[in-house]
């Protein structure tokens, strides 16, 4: 039947938006998640600090899973050297704030969630804004001083921390249960006076490696949100070239300043 003058053909009609039931169906059907778990995910507030090689995959998977509010924190701008591993960005984004560009892409990916951005440097005032009502913090940064500062803030506010790191072809993943009084933390594992780590500008980094670690951070964060994560803190070292994973629990150091 021919179309009227004012009516678009069926093939040009915009499809109806997907319902939440359809969008999250593949994870809701999992016994460990279900409707109750999805409700916990949808009601959650998650802070992602660092929107680089780790933060872009982590934030994307959390947005896809339906996390209610993502708080994206990064004062850096997109550079050309980011593009081989930070897939939310394009050449046209070079020079633009990472958090703002990432937020725009994530809102388009899942319009049902709330995405807020913070483009200032980390400070006690910013931590006091971000952390008190957050369920989880993801540390996707790339230097020791920032990691220690984030860990201390999470300890102060009792917020679980999921930390990722990747350099060269090896990665690390830490889950620190700051919501439990007897669990160890990043400062229990590393001394602030230790050696300075290599930077990816000098040592390089495989793009897929940080993608794997960032996705793993999202996985562990979702497990925390639905109550399926172990009660203890843990640290994992991942070397994909040799197919090896080393994992151990992190006991609390009685002398750690985060717990005194």
Q: What tokens appear for 175 in the block?
A: 């889950």
Q: How far apart are CA 178 and CA 173, in angstroms?
A: 16
Helix (H) or strand (E) holding 113: none
Grouping H, G, I as helix, E, B as strand and the rest as coil, residue 118 is strand
Phi-psi region of 168 (alpha: psi -120 to 50; beta: other; left: phi over 0): left
Closest alpha carbon to 53 in 74, 22, 32: 74
Check 154, 200, 256, 258 and give the catalytic one.
200
Q: How far apart are CA 107 and CA 60, in angstroms?
A: 10
Q: How far apart are CA 76 and CA 98, in angstroms?
A: 6
Asked whether 48 and 62 are in contact (CB, 8 A), the reply is yes
Q: What tokens appear for 167 in the block?
A: 């350099």
Any idea which residue has 């409700």 for tokens? Answer: 39
Say whether 154 is catalytic. no
Virtual torsion, Cα 16, 22, 23, 27, nearest 10 deg: 180
Neighbours of 202 (CB within 10 A): 8
Catalytic amino acids? 200
């Amino acid at each position: 039947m021919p179309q009227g003058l004012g009516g678009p053909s069926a093939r040009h009609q915009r499809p109806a938006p997907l319902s939440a039931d359809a969008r999250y169906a593949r994870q809701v059907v999992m016994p460990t998640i279900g409707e109750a778990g999805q409700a916990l995910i949808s009601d959650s507030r998650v802070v992602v600090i660092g929107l680089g090689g780790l933060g872009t995959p982590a934030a994307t998977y959390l947005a896809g899973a339906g996390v209610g509010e993502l708080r994206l924190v990064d004062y850096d701008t997109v550079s050309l050297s980011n593009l081989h591993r930070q897939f939310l960005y394009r050449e046209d984004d070079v020079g633009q704030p990472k958090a703002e560009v990432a937020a725009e892409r994530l809102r388009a990916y899942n319009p049902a969630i709330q995405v807020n951005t913070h483009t200032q440097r980390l400070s006690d005032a910013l931590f006091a804004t971000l952390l008190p009502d957050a369920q989880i913090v993801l540390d996707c940064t790339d230097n020791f001083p920032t990691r220690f500062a984030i860990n201390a803030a999470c300890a102060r506010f009792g917020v679980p921390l999921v930390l990722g790191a990747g350099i060269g072809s090896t990665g690390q993943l830490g889950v620190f249960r700051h919501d439990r009084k007897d669990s160890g933390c990043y400062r229990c594992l590393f001394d602030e006076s230790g050696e300075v780590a290599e930077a990816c500008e000098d040592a390089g980094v495989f793009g897929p490696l940080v993608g794997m670690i960032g996705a793993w951070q999202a996985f562990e964060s979702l497990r925390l949100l639905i109550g399926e994560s172990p009660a203890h803190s843990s640290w994992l070292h991942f070397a994909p070239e040799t197919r090896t994973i080393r994992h151990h629990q992190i006991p609390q150091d009685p002398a750690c300043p985060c717990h005194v």
